[in-house]
Chain A
């Protein structure tokens, strides 16, 4: 039965985390059920304090065949890494 239900991707924000992280997916017939399923499957051990779900079919992905064109040009531009700066101790989240 669940194979006929649409797939939702699940994102959880951990108690100490600042952003939602992708943790997996669930089948559900609607968004509300997807949140409940995500809660039951992925937060049983207090993994999170916030859940996002999104229909998997609504995610637009980059084309692996275009990986060269998309990602290669960044390879030789190491000056874009912020390794040349001293980060003050007061800055907690960078």
Chain B
């Protein structure tokens, strides 16, 4: 955090930053909950559902805060259920489908490490609301990483088939990680004002956590994403068809029955 904070970014900028965090947690929670009824074991189903519930809780706190910053009278539910896909600012990695359990675990390791790095920094944010949400989320996120890294080790250092699947998933998903550690004008404005950690600090911590998980799984770290690979733009609202499908399922009920209470 800078010693002499710059002027506070406009509420709209802060709202957008918070929405990115909220949407990444929300989309990942929805992806994880797709395992319910399909997980390899009852105990694992509860494990995945618990992670999904933690993420949903984080998303709710963040969406509520984003709605307040936005000041347009929208609720957390309005933001979750009544926005179009191109208004979602989640990282592109979060919407990647559950191709198999290995893909879900690799996605989880990469995002858990990202959230851990981010929340550790945000816990010291000058924005007390963000600091409070990050502080509350950190123990949850540490557990998520322990859980996903444990599975990565079992799969990577397991059978020939489990290793093959996890290597395929890592090769497939690695290209989406550039977005997690990239920064744009919103990240920079937040960091300059002491409201968020710098992108370089998050990147360094993320990288160390991912290396630790990969080593534990005897997996080789893929080479850094080259400049010729396009950086995904989920955090700017540009998504693949995967997000449309995910949202049409998630938003179906409140859209089909506006004002429904549950």
Write the A33-51 contact mask toward B (1 if CB under 8 angstroms, else 0): 1001100110010000000
Q: How far is the CB of B48 from chain A (nearest CB, A)?
A: 9
Residue from B50, B147, B154 in contact with A44 in the complex, judged by beta carbons closer than 8 Å: B50
Contact yes or no, A36 B147, CB < 8 A = yes
Contact yes or no, B43 A40, CB < 8 A = yes
Residue from A1, A30, A32 in contact with B41 in the complex, judged by beta carbons closer than 8 Å: A1
Interface centre among A1, A26, A29, A36 (most CB of B within 10 A): A36
Give chain B residues whose Cβ lies under 8 Å from the Cβ of A93. Answer: none
Residue from A1, A32, A41, A44 in contact with B150 in the complex, judged by beta carbons closer than 8 Å: A32
Contact yes or no, B43 A28, CB < 8 A = yes
Contact yes or no, A37 B43, CB < 8 A = yes
Contact yes or no, B47 A29, CB < 8 A = no
Contact yes or no, A2 B43, CB < 8 A = yes
Contact yes or no, A1 B46, CB < 8 A = no
Of residues 36 to 68 in B, which have CB atoms within 8 Å of A's CB atoms? Answer: 40-44, 46-47, 50
A36 to B45, CA, bound (A): 12
Contact yes or no, B150 A33, CB < 8 A = yes
Contact yes or no, B47 A36, CB < 8 A = yes
A2 to B147, CA, bound (A): 18
Contact yes or no, A26 B40, CB < 8 A = no
Give chain B residues whose Cβ lies under 8 Å from the Cβ of A36. Answer: 47, 146-147, 150
Contact yes or no, B43 A26, CB < 8 A = yes
Contact yes or no, B154 A37, CB < 8 A = no
Write the B126-163 contact mask toward A (1 if CB under 8 angstroms, else 0): 00000000000000000000110010001000000000
Chain B residues engaging chain A, CB cutoff 8 angstroms: 40-44, 46-47, 50, 146-147, 150, 154
Q: Can you list 18 contacts pairing A with B, beta carbon distance less than 8 Å?
A: A1-B40, A2-B40, A2-B41, A2-B42, A2-B44, A5-B41, A26-B43, A27-B43, A28-B43, A29-B154, A33-B150, A33-B154, A36-B146, A40-B46, A41-B43, A41-B46, A44-B46, A44-B50
Chain A residues engaging chain B, CB cutoff 8 angstroms: 1-2, 5, 26-30, 32-33, 36-37, 40-41, 44
Known: A27-B41, A36-B146, A37-B46. 18 other contacts (CB 8 A): A1-B40, A1-B41, A27-B42, A27-B43, A28-B43, A29-B154, A30-B154, A33-B150, A33-B154, A36-B47, A37-B43, A40-B43, A40-B46, A40-B47, A40-B50, A41-B43, A41-B46, A44-B50
